[in-house]
Structures are given as structure tokens and as C-alpha cells.
Chains A and B, each alone.
Chain A
Amino acid sequence: MSYLEVKNVTHHFFKEQQVATALEDVNFTVNSGEFVSFLGPSGCGKSTLLSLLAGLLKPTTGSINFAESDVEIGYMLQQDFLFPWKTIEDNVALGLKLLKKEEDRSIVDELLEQFELAHTKKLYPPQLSGGMRQRIALARTLAVKPTLLLLDEPFSALDFRSKLSLENFVSETLKRFSTTTILVTHDISEAIAMSDKVFIFSPRPGTIVKSFIIPQEVRELTPFEARNAPAFQVLFQEIWKELDSDEY
């Protein structure tokens, strides 16, 4: 039984002059604990898909079903969007406070400790580097113990070095929490290096054109090491060709 089942989902955006079809007939399943990536060009409806999964939008047609009834969704955006007027500690505790789980507040300290950012507790977001802020944003997302994590190009706003180290960090953290994760990205290497499964998305209207299963030997490596694996290169070429034929 799969954890998440998306069936025949189509989504439209209505404007006065026109109707834009963002997603058309999207079907896929995600198993519990799996890391799945959606790969496609900008504006192909990937973010719309995440908004649908998070319940921020309702699909025009089709259904989104979860195996469990109490799904807690964590959503990480392209930028950290930490609140600059709150301390790091209060930023991480935001979800706990809003979801009335303040009794779990000890997790804030635990996460900051694990992320090696305990010393930033009393600081404010502008005092931290971009990579650190994105790690804090991950801590804020994980503090509410999400059962499904949605990552919307969370590494795209970072410089290359921070991006690589954060990829490793996120992958390691998620393995430990064994959180089911869906990542959307336009970065082929990132998708291969982090995921168990990659879905290729076509642009406007977005729909899945192909899926790739990442070989076990690549999965076991950290994202950084995976980039050097021979199987990685083969897969990269294959996916590149596929995207190229979709006029990527």
C-alpha cells in the first residue's frame, strides 16, 4: 500500500481573459519513507503540485489520497523566509506554537544541537549566512515532525558550495527521521543524487512524461559522493536526453 496516491489530477488557474492549465492528468504514488523528485523546467507546474499536496490549493479534478489520516505536512520554500523580527529559536518554534504543540518545545533545542547551530539561538536571521538560514528553515519544518516533507527547490538560492553541503546534510537528516519526501527541482544532478525515484515533468501543462528509478548503489551514497559514481553519469545522460526531447 503506497503512502500517497495521486490520481488523474488536473489543475487550472482562472483569470478574466483566459484559463491556464497548470497540471494535466498527473498520476503517481509514493511509498512511505521514499525520496521522490520531480524534475522539469521552470514554470512547468511543479510548485503548483506541491501546493496541491500541501492542501493550499484544491485540484480542479482528480484525487489526492494519503494512506494515513493524520498527515502532518512540512513545506520548505526556495528561500528560507525566516521572520527577521523573531530570534532563531522563535523561528524554529513557530510551527509548534501555531499548531498548539508547545509542550514539544524541547525539540527546538535538540534540532539546533543536531544541526550544530545551537549558538545561533538568540540571534536574528539577518545575522546568519544563507546556508545557515536554510538549515534553520529545515529545522522549523522538521520541528513539527512532518510525515510528508515537500521541498520546493530549497537549494536553488544558495551558492554552489553551500548547496552541496546542504544536500548532504538534508539527505542524512531525512534518512535519520525516515521522512517521506518530495523534492521539486530543475537541477538534474540534484534530483539523481538525492532521490530514490525521479519523475520527469513536461512544461505547460505539466504532466509526468517519464520516471526513473535510481539504482541502489547510487542511493546508498551521500549526494556528494553519488555525483562521482559511474551509474550517476549514465543516468544523467539518459535524463538529459529525455529533457532535451521535451525542449527543455
Chain B
Amino acid sequence: MNIEQLQQQYNEKRRREKRKIVSFQILLLVGLLLFWEITTHFRILDPLIFSSPRAVGSLFITKITDGTLFPHIAITLFETVVGFILGTLLGTLLAISLWSSKTFANVMDPYLVVLNAMPKVAIGPMILVVFGPNMLAVLVMGVLISVIISTIVIFSAFQQVNENYIKVMQLFRASKYETFRHVILPASTPTIISTLKVNVGLSWVGVIVGEFLVSSSGLGYLIISGFQVFNFTLVFLALLIIIVLATIMYKGVELIERKVLEKQ
């Protein structure tokens, strides 16, 4: 059939296009690694500062085999996931409390603006002093960095819900709680999920900065300690692991987003 042939041709063309994109992407990655390896091998770039892919690779293998890498990865991952979940959850709860009372929302408004404008990492030293040099301080940093912006974004999503939906609820004499459960929350779910995506990135920032300050364990600690003894191979190793993990986490949230939005 002619139409079927055309359809096949169309599919074939799309497949080819896709293969082309993927092969270029792989080529670019290999090219970058090669560039890194060659320039440091011939000392165009100082290998003391820029290390090299081979050095990073072999350090990775040694550290995996002697088991000194895994605990750091586990700690950072744990802190980030907990910070991310708590940040989003607290942000949502704060947004709900703002929504439930207009007076409260109006009173809080300037404070939210100030808190949002303030660079949260600037109070890192304070957090360290208050909570002590431990995991709790790192978690607080991770939560603090995402909670205010989550609150603001989710609260404004609550406010933007079409007021006719709320009118429908009022006509059935719904309570504030019922209105929230049946209208406000489901209508704002897409926004809440998109703040999740932003918060993945923010939580990593908070946790790594926290680990810089606390300096006892985790990938952020590896970076800072590698830097202090001029072991940049270690710095690059930690950095690459962070990149991979952060990407996986982001993709995971994207997957959840697709699942939830599909349901709606």
C-alpha cells in the first residue's frame, strides 16, 4: 500500500534523525574527554590542577575497591533526598497556611520577599554554629535553600485557581478544607510538581554548601578536602559523581511528573 510505504519512510526518516542526534551527542562527549586527556597529557593544561580522565578513572576504581567512596556518596545522597522532600513538603504546608488566612498571608508578605531575596548560603555559618558541625546542619541548609521559593510559587498557584471552580464549591456550601481538597490542591498539582524539579537542583546546592562548611563527610567534603591538599583528581571525581546523581534524580522527578499528570 502506498500510504503504508510513506508511513514507513516517515518513520525511517525519524529514526535516522534520532540516531544522528545521539551519535553526535556521544561524539561530543568522547571528544571532550579526549581533549581533556590530551591537553593534560602534553601539559598544555596543568595536570596538577586539571587532573585527567585517566587519573580520575583510576582513582574511582581504587576508591570503590577500598570502600572509601561509597559512604560519602550515601551520606550526600541521603541528605539531598531528605532536604529535597522536606523543603517541598514544608513549602507546601507553609503555602497552605498562607492560603487559609488572608490576614496571615498579608502579614507575611514582606517577610517572604526579604527571605526570598536573601542569599540563603550567606547564613550558612550561623546554621553551623546553631546546629553544630553535623548532618543536621547540612540538612537545614538543604531545606532552607528551597523552602521559601517553594512556598512562594505554590502559594501563587493556589491563588491563581479559577475562581469559578471555587464558586461551584461555595454554591454547594463547601467548607474551606473541602474546597482545598477538591479544588485548590488538584488544580495546583502541576505547579507543585514543577517546583519539585527546581528543588532538586536547589537541594544539591544547599547540601554541597552545607558539606563545605561542616567538612566531615559527603561529596562536598571530598571536594573541599581535595582542594585543601591540592588533590584535584579527587575534586573532579566528586564533581562527576554529583553531576551523574543530580541528573538521575532530576530524571526521576520528571518520571513522577509524567505519571501524575497522566492520571489527571
Residues in chain A within 8 A of chain B (CB atoms): 54, 56, 73-75, 77, 79, 81, 83-86, 94-95, 98-99, 124, 144
A83 to B170, CA, bound (A): 14
CB contacts (< 8 Å) of A94 on chain B: these are 168, 172, 182
CB contacts (< 8 Å) of B41 on chain A: these are none
- Specify which of A77, A124, A144 is in contact with B168 (CB 8 Å cutoff): A77
Interface bits B175-211 vs A (CB < 8 Å: 1, else 0): 0001000110011010000000000000000000000
Q: How many residues of B contact A (CB 8 A)?
A: 18
Residues in chain B within 8 A of chain A (CB atoms): 162, 164-165, 167-174, 178, 182-183, 186-187, 189, 264
- Specify which of B171, B174, B183, B189 is in contact with A83 (CB 8 Å cutoff): B183
A–B Cβ pairs within 8 angstroms, 15 of them: A56-B170, A73-B171, A77-B167, A79-B164, A81-B164, A81-B165, A83-B165, A83-B182, A83-B183, A84-B264, A85-B187, A85-B264, A94-B172, A98-B169, A99-B172
CB contacts (< 8 Å) of A95 on chain B: these are 172
What is the CB-to-nearest-CB distance from B217 to chain A, in angstroms, rounded to a whole number? 43
- Specify which of A74, A77, A81, A83 is in contact with B186 (CB 8 Å cutoff): A83
Inter-subunit contact A144/B264 (CB<8 Å):
no
Inter-subunit contact B162/A54 (CB<8 Å):
no
A94 to B174, CA, bound (A): 10
What is the CB-to-nearest-CB distance from B112 to chain A, in angstroms, rounded to a whole number? 24
CB contacts (< 8 Å) of A73 on chain B: these are 171
A76 to B190, CA, bound (A): 27
What is the CB-to-nearest-CB distance from B35 to chain A, in angstroms, rounded to a whole number? 50
- Specify which of A54, A84, A86, A124 is in contact with B171 (CB 8 Å cutoff): A54
A79 to B169, CA, bound (A): 15
Inter-subunit contact A98/B172 (CB<8 Å):
yes
CB contacts (< 8 Å) of A83 on chain B: these are 165, 182-183, 186
CB nearest to A99 among chain B residues: B172
Q: Which of B165, B168, B178 has the most CB of A within 10 A?
A: B168
Inter-subunit contact B174/A98 (CB<8 Å):
yes
What is the CB-to-nearest-CB distance from B52 to chain A, in angstroms, rounded to a whole number? 53
Inter-subunit contact B167/A56 (CB<8 Å):
yes
Inter-subunit contact A99/B173 (CB<8 Å):
yes
CB contacts (< 8 Å) of B174 on chain A: these are 98
CB contacts (< 8 Å) of B189 on chain A: these are 85
A56 to B189, CA, bound (A): 28
What is the CB-to-nearest-CB distance from A125 to chain B, in angstroms, rounded to a whole number? 11
What is the CB-to-nearest-CB distance from A191 to chain B, in angstroms, rounded to a whole number? 23
A75 to B264, CA, bound (A): 26
Inter-subunit contact B170/A81 (CB<8 Å):
no
Q: Known A94-B182, A98-B178; judge A81-B162 contact (CB<8 A).
A: yes
What is the CB-to-nearest-CB distance from A98 to chain B, in angstroms, rounded to a whole number? 4
Inter-subunit contact B165/A75 (CB<8 Å):
no
CB contacts (< 8 Å) of A86 on chain B: these are 182, 186
A81 to B171, CA, bound (A): 13
Closest 10 CB pairs of A and B: A85-B186, A98-B172, A95-B172, A75-B171, A81-B164, A98-B174, A85-B264, A81-B168, A81-B165, A77-B164
